[in-house]
Structure 1
């Protein structure tokens, strides 16, 4: 028995001797003893630190909390009361407000405790931010309140009462930099759960990834899957304020030019453009179609003597296109107007419209442009006060001179559009131009042929940064020619399916023209964002039907 014990002890000793040091050699007995002492010392230190932390927490919990009425979680707002107290907007804060006590609701963008007596909060409303600070004192702000402030989850909504004070130094991390908020009361209105990604990651410019490739990059699909969170970023706030701006400028110019806003059906009994790119839906006991455009109804309004009409509304295209610029639902800015002698009268109006929109975006939304550039830099959009107009044959010649094979009546592909845009930019120094006189064979059946140029039509497209953003034409307003064109369409359109449309022209219709503009494309190309999904609130494409 003694021999067995001796053997076990001997093996254990050998195992102990085999413990290796940093040099890869077995540690000596003295080194092992030293190692054990260090382990014991570290263990005692951890126990001591834990004890001190527990004693500190106990002292804090035992100390009187004289701020209980100044912080905490508010009950769910069920419209219990209406105090009438004025709420302040962060964007309005200036040094003129120093000394005032204000009330505001904002999101907690960050919460950063400094020691045991201060906690700094960045408070955000939309795209503007201000710094708030909770400072422990002997009478009003307790340590418990400071600890509560530091525990508020990012993106929670809070109600803050604070005194506006002069910032000791510029708060460069906020948009309001000369003043800060000395928080006196702090209540959580709605607590935020853990975010799928941080807004800091979602607003990081690409240049930072070049410096540190290990930084978290939020992919576009992740953003779109969690769109309500993604839309909180200052970049997205700026983008969609500018989208509002495009619609505002579009409506503003047309109203100034005596256009009437209309609202047309989106459920149709026949496909508005013909062809297969249409969504069919069940409509009681028959089939209906989602509108591909308000085309027929715009023209009917012209036959009804409204003269000039426009609409801002969604349209639907059942195109299985997996590209950066196609969606199955988008917002179309449509207009139609009668003219006296020549459809170029309409081109003149469209020219003025786009100059108004582009100029308006640059002048009225300069702040939003700078916000977007901080994350997504782009070259400023160039344009001419009198927009460039080219004919289709002129464009064909430019492409051929650049070595591109192109037939007289070929349709422009996406790639050839891009090349043409580059050639135009180099020669004319503009990112916006009009292309007139498209081949008749590549246009819809209701497009007016050009009698002076066989094979061509009175139709046009507009381009921004080498991509099409408007398609339009003089419409066929003669009922016999319109029916003939429908029957000659590829595939042919049965006149019976569009009879109400055809009938509208039988009772006298003035010559007219118009076009449809893709809202999301205009903004995508103005800002050079590279993907149309960035300018759609909740984009729809062949693979996305939510959220």
Structure 2
């Protein structure tokens, strides 16, 4: 989902893909909104009922009542402070803490009563779970406390104080192989009794569901729209916890690598006077009586920053595309990872940065995100990405020839459609044993107006795309830095030169040769983890039909 790769004016196939995938009407969207409003009202009613039930439950005469119950709001208003070291993270619980008293906070993921004197709670924190046992004990745990525990609703926030024990048999329903013998149990905040989706249902893989079906058991399948409608619950699954921690690491690696290469992080405006990419897929708005739009990329301003003598710059920020795209890899808003740099002699210098940056990124993810990758793989099985120590580079003409040799008919001066990209990815994997490669010297006609033509053939350009698993993630190029030529290119692409006059003027004051690239963060995560839809890697996706939650 690169900031340059979504250029709307470049690919006819993209338009065809979008048209063919418009399966949801506005009427259906309104119907869904009404359904969600009805469910919201029902949840409010359930919450009120739960509050009444809680009050009646706590009103009994129990000498041990101080050991359990709902934490009063007054106590939650930062009335008193506890040392943070008093708390133990669920993920750190292990056999070395045997017989120690610990204090935990987490969610009541599962609750199971065993008669009237025993209850099991599975408490979850940051994807880790531990089994807690509340069992009637004189002077510690009363029958009323066990009853209170069993009445808690799933996903409620609870505080548990208890002693760590090590059971003789493995614990199958929790990540931590210890058990907490509960001494005290408090509800910090109750969830509604009836949840729209259950986290355990949302965490199931298609393989689990299919196996259960074959065995005659029907398990709940949570579809994508339902997940996104109740995204806060969906995000609690182990796979989603892994996905967004991996995403966080990608942003961190991107930043740290470029800082080590003498790049400067910048922050460009998202409100601009005219289109930053060309084409019609732009969000237009009124800016104090003047026409304006949301930036389709930081392209113009990052180039202007090179003219401002920063030498090498990068940015991590939001990018907006008003495309009517309903495909598995397009969003109306995504996070762009953008780079721009001076070029001394050849645009291969930019590709060199791409090569080293992404090999370092893949290495770091495989080394430091093993638990997260395993969590993703349990729900969405995938094969580890295959890549070379030195990234393969093919010219566009070489790629076209590989497709022709395989019997695929393609326009030698046109863009590759989605099907051709995937086929070329298969051919490259078979021949070179890599799923990550660079394709460069694209036809000039399919690139943005600011792309530098090749010196030896003006039909081609000093540009490149980068692919993972047969899908594009990066688009980059050497830029046109000669203002007169830049004006001609903009006019030829249908851009009103007046709306980008300050951009073009910045090159009139002396501009070094330069180039750069744009990467879509969500698309990198999607393809590295072998996921089938970019909405899985966008925290709160924005597409033509979704602007909430």
TM-score (norm: length of structure 1): 0.87
Alignment of 1:118-267 (within 5 A): 118-177=118-177, 179-193=178-192, 194-213=194-213, 214-267=218-271
- Greater mean deviation of Cα atoms: 151-160 or 479-488: 479-488
RMSD between superposed Cα atoms in Å:
1.5
Shift of residue 64, structure 1, vs aligned partner = 6.8
Give the match for residue 326 of structure 2: 322
Higher CA-based Rg? 1
Give the match for residue 71 of structure 2: 74
1:270 aligns with 2:274: yes
Shift of residue 184, structure 1, vs aligned partner = 0.3
Give the match for residue 104 of structure 2: 104
Taking the aligned partners of 1:84 and 1:380, their CA distance within structure 2 comes to: 42
Superposed CA offset, 1:474-502 (max 9, x none): 0001112111211222x2x2322211001
Shift of residue 456, structure 1, vs aligned partner = 0.2
Taking the aligned partners of 2:119 and 2:393, their CA distance within structure 1 comes to: 60
Superposed CA offset, 1:76-129 (max 9, x none): 222222233621111112222112111121100001111222111111001111
* SS in structure 2 at match of 1:69: helix
Superposed CA offset, 1:311-345 (max 9, x none): 00010011111100001111110000002111111
Shift of residue 63, structure 1, vs aligned partner = 10
Alignment of 1:436-455 (within 5 A): 436-455=440-459
- The question of whether the paired residues in 1 share the 8 Å contact of 2:197 and 2:230 is answered with no
Taking the aligned partners of 2:286 and 2:93, their CA distance within structure 1 comes to: 54
Superposed CA offset, 1:20-75 (max 9, x none): xxxxxxxxxxxxxxxxxxxxxxxxxxxxxxxxxxxxxxxx9999733211001111
1:363 aligns with 2:363: no
Superposed CA offset, 1:390-427 (max 9, x none): 00000000000010111210211111111111111111
- The question of whether the paired residues in 1 share the 8 Å contact of 2:307 and 2:511 is answered with yes
Name the CA shift for 1:287/1:494 in 2 (closer, same or farther; >3 Å).
closer
1:83 aligns with 2:87: no
Give the match for residue 497 of structure 1: 499
- The question of whether the paired residues in 1 share the 8 Å contact of 2:414 and 2:445 is answered with no
Taking the aligned partners of 1:285 and 1:240, their CA distance within structure 2 comes to: 39
Unaligned runs of 5+ in 2: 1-56
* SS in structure 2 at match of 1:521: helix
TM-score (norm: length of structure 2): 0.86
Shift of residue 208, structure 1, vs aligned partner = 1.8
Name which structure has the greater RCO, CA cutoff 8 Å, separation 6+.
2
Taking the aligned partners of 2:374 and 2:502, their CA distance within structure 1 comes to: 49
Unaligned runs of 5+ in 1: 1-59
- The question of whether the paired residues in 2 share the 8 Å contact of 1:110 and 1:123 is answered with yes
- The question of whether the paired residues in 1 share the 8 Å contact of 2:490 and 2:497 is answered with yes
Alignment of 1:402-417 (within 5 A): 402-417=406-421
Alignment of 1:388-537 (within 5 A): 388-489=392-493, 491=494, 493-537=495-539
- The question of whether the paired residues in 2 share the 8 Å contact of 1:66 and 1:141 is answered with no
- The question of whether the paired residues in 1 share the 8 Å contact of 2:443 and 2:459 is answered with yes
- The question of whether the paired residues in 2 share the 8 Å contact of 1:66 and 1:140 is answered with no
Taking the aligned partners of 1:250 and 1:242, their CA distance within structure 2 comes to: 12
Taking the aligned partners of 2:414 and 2:60, their CA distance within structure 1 comes to: 83
Superposed CA offset, 1:194-252 (max 9, x none): 21011111011111221233211000000000111111111111100001011011111
Taking the aligned partners of 2:399 and 2:170, their CA distance within structure 1 comes to: 54
- The question of whether the paired residues in 2 share the 8 Å contact of 1:130 and 1:175 is answered with yes
Give the match for residue 544 of structure 2: 542
* SS in structure 2 at match of 1:528: coil
Alignment of 1:275-290 (within 5 A): 275-290=279-294
Superposed CA offset, 1:339-370 (max 9, x none): 21111111111100110111111111011111
* SS in structure 1 at match of 2:65: coil
Give the match for residue 31 of structure 1: none
Taking the aligned partners of 1:440 and 1:317, their CA distance within structure 2 comes to: 22
Name the CA shift for 1:299/1:320 in 2 (closer, same or farther; >3 Å).
same
Taking the aligned partners of 1:61 and 1:510, their CA distance within structure 2 comes to: 74
Give the match for residue 53 of structure 1: none
* SS in structure 2 at match of 1:390: strand
* SS in structure 2 at match of 1:212: helix
Taking the aligned partners of 1:63 and 1:454, their CA distance within structure 2 comes to: 86
Name the CA shift for 1:63/1:443 in 2 (closer, same or farther; >3 Å).
closer
- The question of whether the paired residues in 1 share the 8 Å contact of 2:262 and 2:312 is answered with yes
- The question of whether the paired residues in 2 share the 8 Å contact of 1:111 and 1:122 is answered with yes
Name the CA shift for 1:74/1:475 in 2 (closer, same or farther; >3 Å).
same
Name the CA shift for 1:480/1:81 in 2 (closer, same or farther; >3 Å).
same
